[in-house]
């Protein structure tokens, strides 16, 4: 009897616990719009590109799934260029348990038209001229609100998955590097593009509440000469879907978009038209329409355990077989920029000749030890960003693997080219064969460490290779480390970190003076109308009204608006559009000293009702005592005729 009891006990220990059945799901959205005026924008690395109003607000969208055993994962898609370690660390601190480095992922849509200055690493704040506390707080607080809203709405539900393809929404902007890969790799991507789209459908009580799409294309439909905050093509896609479905939260996340551009002409240099706003609409509409098709046709339900693994990895020295990664560094060809964001005419992509000017400049500004230069070969180092004290770019990266039933989502803080991303998926899939049947790689996650290319692409030293921070074996290191997380998840083993991200509060400095004083011009008051609308308009026409205003950084109007388009219904005015609507833009201009104007433009939608309308501006002005007071301005009425 004792032997039988021992055998039975052993069987019970070795037999896995049954998978918890049934999910709870929650979705949430939060306004993360940063400073709309006189703050450096992040993405094109041009100090002259500063914010001057809104083409759209920026949003964070959260998707939360929990199984019956209480195991939970949360995925956030934020309409910013990238997530920084400072943001990730602060969001985790504010949310607290049960969130940690394994089960909460923060990703970025990678728009290049948002305010920057929300990191503690010097390189990413250089072109924005420092840290911007207001933008940092807006981003962190908005993400937290989105997650908390998702938590509050947790209820029994389902998650379904659908996969398909989308053509005509991206091109490969780095063909010479792509073509350096083996034929077997290239054959997986006809046309040298990744056309895959994955869509998750979140339902509660059979009612759809969330759409989460993954597709690879850059957030560069808006050009470097744009000064209006814009969520770019993925933000427009979200706007289209959410405007069609009342109460639905729709996010358009990134995958391996490192060499995927939405600019379809001249190898990624130009959008499908010469109008950047129309280009944003075209690429966004394509994603929205295809995602909705997949969403409507989703039938495969994700079932089984919820699980997650995550850890911090020091990428300055990861052993990959007989090779190693290196402390972070940017190559001279990094200064050339990409096709859809070219840099100064100093070097050309792929030029392996040392440029003496950049060599000397790099040595003076950011010296790099000889061992690091040797490790980074064939990259000709311009900036040794990881060799400084403190480092100019992060070295300790967050890696995660989320499991939702038969779906695995790998996350990493880089811009993976399509072949580098595919190799990661295959490495993870090799560990999870028989456990999961769907693989997604979510880049731009939790921090930012530049590009990730294959070793073959790295050797060509185009922009993407020159911006691959940790050397030739960066890609293989991500493959190895994410595969290790997958193996640990499969085995039910923990994944402790041996390092953690450092905090550099001393780098939270800015050279911008901030708002000093607002004054109206002589004979005018705040809210005075300078340009009135015409008497009437037809659908498709642009209504333009200008007001005397205060500095918009006085009040971000978070979860609110700087403008309202109102229609007269009976005796009352009804708001029909705000600055959350892509048909309305808010442009701010400093005229001189403390005098500024706000120009509000509303493009009349095709389905606008005939009737009487007006435009209202909501602003705030800072007086000589420092007190900030709100004001409103209202245009004269005009009519929409059909």
Which of the residues are catalytic? Answer: 261
In contact, 495 and 425? CB cutoff 8 Å: no
Backbone conformation region of residue 355, classed left if phi is above 0, alpha if psi is from -120 to 50, else beta = beta
CA distance 281 to 397: 34
Q: Is 369 left (phi over 0), alpha (psi -120 to 50) or beta?
A: beta
Query: H/E element holding 199?
Result: strand 196-204
First to last CA, the chain: 90
Number of Cβ within a 10 Å radius of residue 220: 30
For residues 542 and 638, give the distance between their C-alpha atoms in angstroms, rounded to a whole number. Answer: 12
Stated as kind and residue range, the H or E segment containing 428 is helix 418-432
Strand partners, 160: 201, 301
In this structure, are residues 358 and 510 in contact, taking their beta carbons and an 8 Å threshold? Answer: no
Q: What beta strand segments (E) does 436-541 contain? A: 438-442, 451-452, 529-531, 536-537
Q: Please provide the DSSP assignment of 286-328 as one string.
A: HHHHHHHHHHHH--EEP-S-EEEEEEEEETTS-EETTEE--S-
Main-chain dihedrals φ then ψ at residue 11, nearest 5 degrees: -60, -40
Give which of 199, 207, 206 is closest to 77, Cα–Cα.
199
CA nearest neighbour of 211 among 107, 77, 303, 57:
77
Residues 460, 457: Cα–Cα separation, whole Å: 5
CB within 8 Å of 356: residues ≥ 6 apart: none
Q: Say which residue the tokens 């490495």 belong to.
A: 427
Burial class (CB in 10 A: 0-12, 13-18, 19+), 102: buried
């Amino acid at each position: 009897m004792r032997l039988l009891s021992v055998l039975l006990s052993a069987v019970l220990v070795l037999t896995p616990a049954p998978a918890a059945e049934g999910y709870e799901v929650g979705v949430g959205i939060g306004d993360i719009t940063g400073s709309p005026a006189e703050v450096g924008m992040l993405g094109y690395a041009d100090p002259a590109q500063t914010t001057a109003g809104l083409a759209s607000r920026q949003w964070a969208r959260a998707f939360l799934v929990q199984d019956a055993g209480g195991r939970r994962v949360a995925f956030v898609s934020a309409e910013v260029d990238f997530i920084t370690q400072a943001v990730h660390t602060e969001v985790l601190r504010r949310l607290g348990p049960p969130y940690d480095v394994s089960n909460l992922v923060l990703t970025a849509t990678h728009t290049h038209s948002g305010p920057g200055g929300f990191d503690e690493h010097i390189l990413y704040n250089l072109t924005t001229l420092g840290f911007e506390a207001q933008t940092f707080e807006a981003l962190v607080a908005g993400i937290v609100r989105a997650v908390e809203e998702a938590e509050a709405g947790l209820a029994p539900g389902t998650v379904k998955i659908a996969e398909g393809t989308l053509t005509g929404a991206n091109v490969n902007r780095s063909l010479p590097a792509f073509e350096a890969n083996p034929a077997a790799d290239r054959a997986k991507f006809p046309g040298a593009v990744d056309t895959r789209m994955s869509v998750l459908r979140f339902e509660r009580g059979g009612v759809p509440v969330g759409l989460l799409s993954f597709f690879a294309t850059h957030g560069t439909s808006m050009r470097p000469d744009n000064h209006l905050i814009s969520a770019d093509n993925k933000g427009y896609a979200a706007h289209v879907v959410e405007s069609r479905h009342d109460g639905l939260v729709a996010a358009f996340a990134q995958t391996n978009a490192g060499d995927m551009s939405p600019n379809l002409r001249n190898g990624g240099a130009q959008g499908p038209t010469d109008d950047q706003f129309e280009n944003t609409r075209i690429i966004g509409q394509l994603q929205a329409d295809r995602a909705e098709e997949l969403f409507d046709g989703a039938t495969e339900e994700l079932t089984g355990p919820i699980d997650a693994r995550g850890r911090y990895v020091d990428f300055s020295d990861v052993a990959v077989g007989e090779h190693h990664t290196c402390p972070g560094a940017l190559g001279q060809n990094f200064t050339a920029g990409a096709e859809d964001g070219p840099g100064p005419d100093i070097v050309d992509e792929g030029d392996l000749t040392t440029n003496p000017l950049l060599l000397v400049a790099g040595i003076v500004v950011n010296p790099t030890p000889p061992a690091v230069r040797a490790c980074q070969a064939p990259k000709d180092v311009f900036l040794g960003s990881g060799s400084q004290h403190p480092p100019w770019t992060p070295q300790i990266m967050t890696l995660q693997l989320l499991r939702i039933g038969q779906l695995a989502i790998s996350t990493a803080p880089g811009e993976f080219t399509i072949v580098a991303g595919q190799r990661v998926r295959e490495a993870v899939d090799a560990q999870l064969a028989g456990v999961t049947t769907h693989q997604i790689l979510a880049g731009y996650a939790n921090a930012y460490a530049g590009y990730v290319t294959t070793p073959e692409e790295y050797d060509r030293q185009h922009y993407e290779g020159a911006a691959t921070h940790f050397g030739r074996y960066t890609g293989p290191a991500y493959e190895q480390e994410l595969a290790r997380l997958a193996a640990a998840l499969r085995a039910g083993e923990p994944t402790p970190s041996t390092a953690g991200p450092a905090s550099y509060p001393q780098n939270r400095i800015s050279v911008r003076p901030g708002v000093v004083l607002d004054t109206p011009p002589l004979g005018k008051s705040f809210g005075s109308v300078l340009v009135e609308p015409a008497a009437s308009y037809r659908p498709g026409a642009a209504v333009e009204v200008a007001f005397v205003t205060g500095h918009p950084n006085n009040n971000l109007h978070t979860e609110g608006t700087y403008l309202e388009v109102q229609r007269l219904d009976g005796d009352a005015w009804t708001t029909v559009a705000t600055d959350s609507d892509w048909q309305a833009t808010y442009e701010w201009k400093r005229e001189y000293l403390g005098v500024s104007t706000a120009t509000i433009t509303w493009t009349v939608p095709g389905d606008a009702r005939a009737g009487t309308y007006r435009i209202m501006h909501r602003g705030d002005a800072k007086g000589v005592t420092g007190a900030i007071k709100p004001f409103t301005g209202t245009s004269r009425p005009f009519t929409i005729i059909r």
